[in-house]
Chains A and B, each alone.
Chain A
Amino acid sequence: GAVVSQHPSWVICKSGTSVKIECRSLDFQATTMFWYRQFPKQSLMLMATSNEGSKATYEQGVEKDKFLINHASLTLSTLTVTSAHPEDSSFYICSPNVAGGSYNEQFFGPGTRLTVL
């Protein structure tokens, strides 16, 4: 299967600071990146979809000015949580979609555990 890395794996920050999460597809090119977040004991909720070189599309209820997504290359996408608050504490997971793929299987990064104090 495809290899996806995410960095950092966990981060603790103070309220009001910004945190950047990197997602890399190591052995394939991803034209599309999905970002999910998962609160404790809940399901994965789609936050946004980004296509390489264009603006991300955000799901209803997700603030685009708070969760900045950059998908500048086919192997790297970043999610920046700006002015983080305790309610942003969650498990953030990226999911790149294989470029030119004709199948649906999605691969997931290992996730980033964000804790905002």
Chain B
Amino acid sequence: GENVEQHPSTLSVQEGDSAVIKCTYSDSASNYFPWYKQELGKRPQLIIDIRSNVGEKKDQRIAVTLNKTAKHFSLHITETQPEDSAVYFCAATYQAGTALIFGKGTTLSVSS
């Protein structure tokens, strides 16, 4: 089955800096790669996603890149703000109707 590795487990940046979180996946059949932000005690919130037919996607300060050959994808947050502090999870799945497999998460701390 699919296995998703995520790094780093913790990341501390200064406000205004960029943050990058990286994930690798094992199943070459996976074709959907979402990123979630989770605040303490709350459900994961989808912040951006990418499908395997696209190499990069951007939404304001957030971008995701995908390298299918290497089987890795990354989340990029620019101009970080204290409210970006949370736990971020990457995930992968290979078809509609199948469960997401999550990475172990990255705790991002943005200090002002």
Residues of B within 8 A of A104 (CB): 31-32, 34, 49, 51, 93, 95-96, 98, 100
B103 touches A108 (CB 8 A): no
Please name all residues of chain B whose beta carbon is closer than 8 Å to the beta carbon of A95 when the two chains form the complex: 99-100
A101 and B96 within 8 A (CB): yes
Contact B96 A44 (CB under 8 A): no
Interface residues on B, range: 20 to 34
Q: Give the chain A neighbours of B44 by CB distance below 8 A.
A: 44, 93, 108
Q: Does A54 contact B (CB under 8 A)?
A: no
Q: How many residue pairs between the two chains, A and B, have CB atoms under 8 Å in the bound complex?
A: 57
- What A residues does B104 contact at CB under 8 A? 42-43
Main secondary structure of the interface of B (DSSP, over half): loop
- Determine the chain A residues whose CB is within 8 A of the CB of B89 once the complex forms: 43-44
Name A's interface SS.
loop
Q: A49-B99, A105-B34 are in contact. List 12 more A-B contacts (CB 8 A).
A: A34-B100, A42-B104, A42-B105, A44-B102, A91-B41, A93-B43, A101-B97, A102-B96, A104-B49, A104-B93, A104-B96, A105-B49
